[in-house]
Chain A
Amino acid sequence: MLLKRLTPWLTAALLSVSAVFAHAQAGKTPDALIKEVSSDVLDAVKADKSIKQGDVNKVIALVDAKVMPHVNFQRMTASAVGRYWRQATPEQQKRLQDEFKILLVRTYSGALAQVQDQTVELKPMRAGADDKEVVVKTEIKGRGDPVQLDYRLENVGGTWKVYDINVLGVWLVENYRNSFSQEIGASGIDGLITKLAERNKAAGATKS
């Protein structure tokens, strides 16, 4: 009951990043992009036996290669770190970004293991044609209850990039914001970097 409401966090968290396979997607509307990419990733996962059996390393490699260029990690990190971002040196900022990126990739990869026979349904998007920032709402349907999965995308020079993800009503960046500021309050920005690095290392060591 403690984690009941966080369950499909995993499932959806992964698909969040899936949304941004772009190859030659310039000019696509953000919702068409998300739909296509989500479906692509779900299909890829369904087809790959080793991913289904939980080979997380393979998944991390997949996410790293295909998805990274299309998520604005800098903005996500800056947003999660909040007001301390400006106080960080460029080097600290880079380290924060790197560690947060690993953390997020692990989240998605872990979520992949939970994906089974699911489809993505796009919900109507409420945005003006000229909006530079939109929210795309989707729902993952399949076994069990539909999972709400929303993305915030921004348009940078014609390309849409994801900068926040919402699973079951929880915006990822916002959720980390309190943890981050708590950690910075306790042990400074370097303390946060160390904690993130530790967490990533520990998670990497306990690969199942």
Chain B
Amino acid sequence: MKRAGLLSLIAALLFALGGCATIKDARGGPGARLDPWESWNRKVFAFNEGLDEKVLKPVATGYAKVVPQFARRGVDNFFANAADAWSAVNNVLQGKPEPALQDVVRVTTNTVFGFFGLLDIASEFGLEHHYEDFGQTLGRWGFGAGAYLVWPVLGPSSVRDSAALPADRWFASPAEYIKDGRWQGGITVLQIVNTRANLLGASKLLDDIALDKYSFIRDAYLQRRRSLVYDGDAPATPEPIDGPEPAASAPSAAASAASPAASAASAPQ
């Protein structure tokens, strides 16, 4: 009963947001114009960074030191398995039966033969993850990403992905399928810590290479989500009109918007 109520709330939210997140945005590139709430987002980001520095990173570092690699991989596989089940549902929703079937085979193989997902046997048979989530499904259906949004604790998101958040959080997490409250909490914590431990190297590198961590993460997030909606084949976004490379007719869908003439334009030393 409660679930039905929440689902209709999500549906209502979606229709409301459909007005804000235009279809044009789904095709447009990321950038500052998709971040009208920047000052608020930056505050939340700063809060998350502080939380990460003081709590999450130390815990994850300890976890990484103590837990052996094979066990961590088992944990990764376990959570990926639950995500595969949700991915199958989304593939169906997006009208992609073949990937959906692959996901179903993945989940059954790994659950039955892989000790409830601890071993990733399906990958060895050549079946790949697809990682579809409800946010991508909405994108596929034509909802633009909308404005960039940073949630406390949960991190970067967009208006569209936030509408999908309840679905993505619940259905993709194994915690949802276990009715015991204590286990639910423990599993969620394990998922968070394990993910953070996997990202320790990445976050260190990010500190070195990002000029402004906030915008770097924002732009990467928006680009990545756009690419996921297009399943890796996103059309190139045109470069700014007065940039060094004027847009030219692309030889193929995948070619960039820059033209050879542009190299000449930027040639003068």
Contact = CB atoms under 8 A, between A and B. Distances in A.
Q: Do A and B bind each other?
A: yes
Given A131-B252, A175-B216, 9 more contacts: A74-B266, A86-B244, A107-B209, A110-B208, A110-B209, A131-B255, A156-B263, A177-B219, A199-B211
A56 to B, nearest CB: 10
Contact of A135 (B76, B196, B243, B255): B255
A185 to B, nearest CB: 9
Interface stretch (A16-24, A41-49, A57-65, A163-171): A163-171
Nearest to A111: B205
A106 B211 CA distance: 13
Interface in B210-259: 210-212, 215-221, 223-228, 232, 234, 237, 239-245, 251-256, 258-259
A189 interface: no
A134 B250 CA distance: 10
B52 interface: yes
A160 interface: no
B245 A134 contact: no
Contacts of B30: 174, 178
Interface string A96-110: 000000010011001
Contacts of B237: 174
B219 A174 contact: yes
A82 B263 contact: no
A169 to B, nearest CB: 2
Contacts of A126: 252-254
Contacts of A131: 251-252, 255
A93 B29 CA distance: 26
A203 B207 CA distance: 8
Nearest to B150: A2
Interface of A: 1-7, 9-10, 72, 74-75, 78-79, 81-83, 85-86, 90, 93-94, 103, 106-107, 110-111, 113-114, 126-128, 131-135, 137, 143-146, 148, 152, 154, 156, 163-164, 168-171, 174-180, 182-183, 195-196, 199, 202-203, 206, 208
A111 B205 CA distance: 8
A81 B254 CA distance: 22
B206 A3 contact: yes
A170 B227 contact: yes
B208 A79 contact: no
Contacts of B223: 169-171, 174-175
B255 A114 contact: no
B156 interface: yes
